Structure 1
Amino acid sequence: MTVSANPPATSESAPTVQRSPEHERALRALLWRDRLTSLWMPLIVLLVAYVPYLPLIEFVPDSASWAQPFMQGLALVLLVAFGGILAWRLAVPRERVLRALRHDARELMEEMERIHKRLPGKIAPEATARLDEQQLRLEEAFLSADAARIEKETKTYDAVATQTLGVFRKQTAWDLFSGFGKALAVAFVVRIFIIEPYKIPSGSMFPTLEIGDQVFINKFIYGVRLPLTNTVPFQIVRAPARGDVIVFNNPMQTDLDFIKRVVGVPGDKVELIDGVVHINGEAQGRTLVKEDLVVFNKHDSIGWFPEHRRLYEENLSGHKHAVLQDAPTARSEHEGPYVVPPGEVFVMGDNRENSSDSRYGLGTGGGVAFVPYGFIKGKAMVIWLSLGYGGWFSGLFDGTGLRTDRLFLPVR
């Protein structure tokens, strides 16, 4: 392999390592090999696929019929890939050692590149030339797959970097801190204003959402919410609509977050007559789907236990979704009317007779309670993880397992 170890003296803003085309190709192939066999790669691929999936199922609901099976298949393939990579790592210890050495060496090279970019024209050409020469030796050690040689050349490269750029390396601590701060700020903005996970704690939303489901909520669709003031200065996409499943900070018990379905919007008069919802005097049709649906609830003292419910499909102003009722006749013959004030919504759980919702003071039992817009955190979009009754490994965890059938399920 022919490599020029003495590049022209220059004060450019980055190292000027001169490599032959063959050397470049071999290094690139090795880098991609390390990337594709990283245990992080399956997760990264899944997260990348999630980016278009979320808006697709949110704004083109019919696409879920093919997009959800695709995501489930992709997740299965990636899970198998993760298992294969892990097994290969365990079976070939030498590969683990080489990967770790290459990783440490690349981090050192990246540090040198950051210093050059941060201080253009301030680093002596001789220092850059010495680093370039040693980097070439280190890269050749990569290609030799000799662990001892890689370790030796990395130590030499580190020593040269300290000798030539020692004063500048001390300043990189701030770079590390500022980089961490930027990542933390991005994560904060995403969680507060864009998307947030929420775990389903109870059976009040059976059968739409089950205990152990974990959903992503869309935090910007209704507008930017200011958490400390519980206000929404302006809407972004639209106001909450009938049929939306929302996560909100309970205005009656502000230390709790609830998840319920919006049934009434400002100005609506909501009544339940023998279990049938009436909006402004108009019955919202529902159809019996199954007379005996078994759902599994959970209690801390007894674990999982079955409950028998009647399953209906309700059409709430054109939004079709499932609801449950305990018996052929509703527990209460008549509930309401409830008139929804401006800027607030009336919410109920889909497990209609087992839900602490607006009819019952949102858990306080103190009469009707509405949810102001400013308390709404966002709209539930999709189940990204489900650790509920049954599923994979449930025999090892008292009935709780990974429910792959519920992964990527849109919340309707």
Structure 2
Amino acid sequence: MSMSTTGSSEPAMAVFWDNVKTILYALALAMVLRFTIAQPFRIPSGSMQPTLEIGDYIVVTKWSYGYGRFSFAPLEGLLPHGRLFGSAPHQGDVVVFRPTPEPDRDFIKRVIGMPGDRIQMIDGVLHINGQAVQREALGVIDFENEDGFIERIPAYRETLPNGVSYTVFDKNPRSELDNTRVYEVPEGHYFMMGDDRDNSADSRVPSVVGYVPYDNLVGPAQFVVVSFDGTTSLFRPWTLFTGFRGERFLKAVE
């Protein structure tokens, strides 16, 4: 006597397609959240040390400055200029953006100059609109780099006119970026600088970053989700534990 298998295959196919739909819904929700709420980024360079370290994974909020073309990367080429629900960044914010010379790359720096400001570095001291920014020497501090070695680096506490305060590194007091011309920030643009002042290609380097248009902002960094040092490798799973920086877990970006 033959038996039909139709009854058993149909439920199996129904379960398969239900699983496919669930996965597609989950992917669609993840994309919506990435475009509209928050997006993770990995810090690949030391230009924002000591605030952000190589191997930090940060979360950037998309709604903070409203939505522009680069909020929806890689679809920015299909979208018009301008921002929806736009809101201006604050001086001192740590921001992910796309520079005009390299619009296909994400950069992260600190907002130093607002539209209309005059920015200049004189002997390593930041000047805004002709006034030296408050700068307190913290001495030479021990800093563990991404390879696990201790560097001894001169550090300073810098305080902007609006009260935002943070630590900067100045490894070489006579570097080429410690003395600059006056930069006059155009309307609708911002002047960005890295906290590791001698190790940051930022708005002081027009060929790399220059003035950053408001449209090119992605969003501010809010906190470090997790961080791993340079010994970590997915091919050696145990290093996810040995290279984990517990002191940076859920650390706010300031």
Give the TM-score range, shorter chain: 0.7 to 0.9
Instruction: Indicate how the Cα distance of structure 1 residues 173 and 220 shifts in structure 2: closer, same or farther if over 3 A, else same.
Output: same
Counterpart residue number, 1:313 = 157
Instruction: Indicate how the Cα distance of structure 1 residues 230 and 402 shifts in structure 2: closer, same or farther if over 3 A, else same.
Output: farther
Q: Contact 1:221–1:235 (CA<8 Å) still a contact in 2?
A: no
State which of 261, 269, 287 in structure 1 corresponds to 2:110: 261
Counterpart residue number, 2:141 = 293
State which of 222, 226, 232 in structure 2 corresponds to 1:385: 226
Q: Secondary structure at the match of 2:33?
A: helix
Which one-letter code corresponds to 1:388 in the other structure? D
Distance in 2 (alpha carbons) for counterparts of 1:176 and 1:334: 61
Which one-letter code corresponds to 2:194 in the other structure? G
Distance in 2 (alpha carbons) for counterparts of 1:230 and 1:293: 47
- State the shift of 1:352 in Å: 0.5
Q: Secondary structure at the match of 2:252?
A: coil
- State the shift of 1:167 in Å: 6.6
Which one-letter code corresponds to 1:314 in the other structure? E
Question: Structure 1 runs of 4+ off > 6 angstroms?
Answer: 166-169
Counterpart residue number, 1:93 = none
Counterpart residue number, 2:51 = 208
Higher helix share: 1
Higher strand share: 2
Counterpart residue number, 2:250 = 408
1:349 aligns with 2:190: no
Q: Secondary structure at the match of 2:251?
A: coil
State which of 113, 116, 120 in structure 2 corresponds to 1:271: 120
TM-score normalized with structure 1 length: 0.52
For the aligned residue pairs, the C-alpha RMSD in angstroms reads 3.0
Which one-letter code corresponds to 1:292 in the other structure? V
The structure showing larger relative contact order (alpha-carbon pairs under 8 Å, at least 6 residues apart) is: 2
- Identity %, equivalent residues: 38
* 1:247-287 superposed Cα distances (whole Å, 9 cap, x missing partner): 11232123321111110111111111222211112221010
Which one-letter code corresponds to 2:48 in the other structure? M
Which one-letter code corresponds to 1:226 in the other structure? R
Instruction: Indicate how the Cα distance of structure 1 residues 278 and 235 shifts in structure 2: closer, same or farther if over 3 A, else same.
Output: farther
Q: Secondary structure at the match of 1:331?
A: coil
1:192 aligns with 2:35: yes
Distance in 2 (alpha carbons) for counterparts of 1:205 and 1:305: 18
Instruction: Indicate how the Cα distance of structure 1 residues 273 and 406 shifts in structure 2: closer, same or farther if over 3 A, else same.
Output: same
Which one-letter code corresponds to 1:373 in the other structure? Y
Q: Secondary structure at the match of 1:334?
A: coil
- State the shift of 1:296 in Å: 3.8
Aligned length: 236
1:73-84 equivalences in 2 (<5 Å): none
Q: Secondary structure at the match of 2:112?
A: strand
Counterpart residue number, 2:60 = 217
Distance in 2 (alpha carbons) for counterparts of 1:170 and 1:389: 46
Counterpart residue number, 2:73 = none
Which one-letter code corresponds to 1:336 in the other structure? R
